[in-house]
Copies of this chain bind each other. A is one copy, B any other.
Amino acid sequence: MAQAKPKTEAKPVRRSAIDGVYERIRKKVLDSELAPGSQILEHELAVMLGVSRTPVREAVIRLHNEGLLEIIPRHGVRIVPIAVSDMREIYDVLISLEPRAAELLALRGASPKELRQLEVCCERMTDALARDEMEEWALADEEFHLGIVQLSGNRRLADIVLNCWDQVHRARYFTLRLRKHPHPSKSIEEHYEIIEAIRRGDAKAASDIYRRHRDRGLKEQVDVMMTFRIHQI
């Protein structure tokens, strides 16, 4: 899980049931359709998805490696909840890796087309914010950060970051509805600063701004969780 699995790669595509099962369980976990902290038996999952236990097991192993599920010997799988301490751990990894991705992108130089792609995300964010559509705002935000790690050219780094995001996904979307506004204009401003730094090829600046951006993000998340006495999510 480590690490780091080829989720990014676009293969010729072989559609086997296990991939489908994996995706469906993953979606249920990310969307809280399977409640954090709850447990469910392999057999129940198999029945729920209309397949046998075999593909379920294999999908579950993958999800376990990704840190989304825990395998409790006689009690099925447990959807791992994210506590504030987990949040800190995960953000610590993100804060170490994402600025480096921005740095790499700045160093290798982004094409106008790639920069444009990032700008479009910012425009979508501004737009969504104006109409108070926070879900759309979050989606565009995700796409921006996703874009940077993927454009960094380091696939392993990108895979790790993506996996971290999966783990905090629930929390991000949950807090969306709780906090008034996520310092949104400030956030978008920083995004533009990052794009500018990358355009200038200023790796140091890109990295620094990114780090500040994530630092603030962590604080906001933790604040919301503390304020609302949410210990797990």
Binding site for B on A (CB under 8 A): 1-7, 14, 57-58, 61-62, 64-67, 73, 89-90, 92-93, 95-97, 100, 104, 154-157, 159-160, 162-164
Contacts and interface: CB of A to CB of B under 8 A. Distances in A.
A73 B18 CA distance: 13
Nearest to A154: B89
A56 to B, nearest CB: 12
- Chain multiplicity (copies): 2
Q: Name the residue in A65, A92, A95, A154 with the highest tally of chain B Cβ atoms < 10 Å from its Cβ.
A: A65
Contacts of A164: 2, 4, 156
Nearest to A67: B4
Contacts of A154: 89, 92-93
A1 B159 contact: yes
A184 to B, nearest CB: 28
A92 B98 CA distance: 12
A93 to B, nearest CB: 5
Contact of A104 (B5, B92, B155): B92
19 contacts: A1-B1, A1-B65, A1-B66, A1-B159, A2-B164, A3-B5, A3-B159, A3-B160, A4-B67, A5-B64, A14-B73, A58-B58, A61-B62, A61-B65, A90-B156, A92-B104, A93-B157, A96-B157, A97-B97
Nearest to A16: B73
Given A154-B93, A157-B92, A2 B65 contact: yes
A58 B14 CA distance: 19
A93 B4 CA distance: 11
Contacts of A66: 1-5, 65
Nearest to A86: B156
Given A92-B154, A93-B154, A160-B3, A65 B62 contact: yes
Contacts of A2: 1-5, 7, 65-66, 159-160, 162-164
Contacts of A62: 1, 61, 65
Contact of A1 (B7, B89, B95): B7
A100 B164 CA distance: 16
